[in-house]
A and B are shown apart, each in its own frame.
Chain A
Amino acid sequence: MSFPKVRVPYLLLLPGFAFLFTFFILPIINLAQTSTQTPVAGGDTGEYEQTLAFGNYIQAFVENKEQFGRSFLYASLATIFALAIAYPLAYAIAFKAGKFKNILLVLVVAPFFTSFLLRTVAWKQILGEEGFVVPGLRSLNIIGEQTTLTSTSIAVVAGMTYNFLPFMTLPLYASLERIDPRTIEAAGDLYANGITAFRRVTVPLSMPGVVAGTLLTFIPAAGDYVNAAILGSPNTKMIGNVIESRYFKIVDYPTAAALSFTLMVAILILVTLYIRKAGTEELV
């Protein structure tokens, strides 16, 4: 090749990074700028000027602290439930499935191919008033006449758990599958019983998968608003719902930008702390 070798990686990076700079870094900078703007006096709706109003952040946070809290609570709960459901599933596929391993793995991802929104709407209809679950439970007197399953925070968390399950299962499977079964046998040879071997050998060795899976579930869950919009009620609004309505219904760009920026920074801080604590730098 005619150009010096040192330049090759930079030339390969150039188009992609130019693209990411223009359409990822620049928008984030612009978002930060928008977040401190205030309406132009006497201007049209949607007209804003830069006044470095950092008070926007305080106001946005105070007005929406409930929704912030809910976002992080729901996302944490969904992450914990998804981990509880996915770990045994991934473990079973990695260690007990034998020749069915690949088929089962495909089946874990398969529901993913039916549109995410269609599946969420399907849950709404299954658990809704006209579905078969609610009348069934009512006739068995398990739930009362007034109790509903949709439009509750439980439904939102359940929907999020369901929708992000593949993101949890796949990394867990990848790290469990890499474990040499001989290390577990060795624990048994050293008189560890099944539970001890699991706790002291399998779990620590699967940590990279746990970290990757929880991040891939928590991050999109914290910013999600689709589950809350379809399965929830006005009382289950998350920060995503607020940002969406600030943008589209109220045309209040500065507040929406301040909220987005706060959400992003909060998540980045949490993720950094979490990765430090879990001691895996593999992701970055």
Chain B
Amino acid sequence: MSQKIKDASIPTIPFKARFSRWFGRNLLRIYMIFGFTYLFIPVAYTFAFSFNDSGKSNLIWKGFTLDNWKNPCGAPEVCNALGNSIKIGLLATIFSTILGTMIAFAIGRYKFKGRSSSNLLIFLPMATPEIVLGASLLSLFLVFKINPGFWPTVIAHVVFCVSFVVVTVKARIASLDPRLEQAAMDLYANELETFRKVTLPLVAPGIAGAALLAFSLSFDDFIITNFNSGTLITFPKFVYVSAARGIPAQANVIGSAMFFLALAIVIAGQLVKRKKNR
């Protein structure tokens, strides 16, 4: 019977209504295709030109080669810059994750005097433009006669990563079910045991996510790095400096490899989550 009603109803819908319904249903799909194409154009371009048999300047397509992928250190400056970026990224991630997680627990778990001003102090670095963070740190280093370089860059990266770690971990703490910890206490676990065996494992995915975020923020940072690194070259800095005369194709290899690596990590994370939920 329902079939009959459906059939009967089709011709009664005016064309305009049918069109707007079709439009409503498919407009977003069409839009998504355009949106994602837009997002991926430069990524695809970077990937394609990583196979360019380009020599020094990777501006014009000269032919297909796998050499750049086989020998990503063919342009030694690229590898040197990449190594610096990874070292700085790992150190900044470790420090900012430890400091940020502690702050997140304090703010997320306790009511204390000065809690709202603590929140403000966490928000401020995120509301400060990078150039101001970078420039102000550089002037401090200059006052203390500290030369810009590796460690000043690490410190600068920790400054802007901490807030993002706090926000991410705090969100995870807020989403925990307090009954799980109460249950542990009911079963005679003391505070430390409860924290170690219940709270920390539950917050761990948030901490891992925060660490990944911190690393990618640090790895991709240019403005603050440019102010505090002196003569040290990081990967983004290398790209910026060599943009004018053309970037070696090996830089495209590194960029594309980072893309696929990050994608693999995120997808693996999703799969682990799905498996756990089952």
A residues adjacent to B (C-beta < 8 A): 1, 6, 8-10, 12-13, 15-17, 19-20, 23-24, 26-28, 30-31, 34, 85, 88-89, 91-93, 96, 102, 104, 106-126, 130, 162, 165, 194, 215, 219-220, 222-226, 229-230, 240, 243-244, 247, 253, 256-257, 260-261, 263-264, 267-268, 271, 283-284
27 contacts between A and B (CB under 8 A): A9-B115, A17-B103, A20-B121, A23-B137, A23-B155, A30-B143, A92-B29, A96-B29, A102-B270, A106-B266, A110-B262, A111-B43, A111-B259, A114-B46, A116-B220, A116-B222, A118-B251, A122-B46, A194-B24, A226-B222, A226-B240, A229-B240, A243-B135, A244-B226, A247-B227, A260-B135, A271-B127
B28, A91: Cβ atoms under 8 Å? yes
Q: How far is the CA of A112 from the CA of B124 in the complex (A)?
A: 24
Q: Does B150 contact A (CB under 8 A)?
A: no
Q: Does B123 reach chain A (CB closer than 8 Å)?
A: yes
Contact with A along B162-195 (1 / 0, CB 8 A): 1000100000000000000000000000011000
Instruction: Identify B247's interface contact among A91, A110, A121, A257, CB under 8 A.
Output: A121
- In whole Å, how far is B177's beta carbon from the nearest beta carbon of chain A? 18
B45, A8: Cβ atoms closer than 8 Å: no
A112 adjacent to B162 (CB under 8 Å) = no
Rounded to whole angstroms, the CA-CA distance of A220 and B127 in the bound complex is 8
* Residue numbers in A under 8 Å from B35 (CB-CB): 85, 88-89
Q: How many residues of B contact A (CB 8 A)?
A: 86
Given contacts A23-B159, A113-B258, 5 further A-B contacts (CB under 8 A): A20-B159, A110-B43, A117-B243, A120-B42, A130-B60
The yes or no answer to B199 lying at the interface (CB within 8 A) is no
Q: Does B10 contact A (CB under 8 A)?
A: no
In the complex, are the beta carbons of A114 and B42 less than 8 A apart? yes
A75, closest chain B residue (CB) = B129
Provide the B74-112 mask, 1 if CB < 8 A to any CB of A, else 0: 000000000000000000000000011011011101101
Complex alpha-carbon distance, A21 and B266, angstroms: 34
Closest to B144 in A: A30
- Taking a contact as CB atoms closer than 8 A, the residue among A26, A126, A194, A243 that contacts B131 in the complex is A243
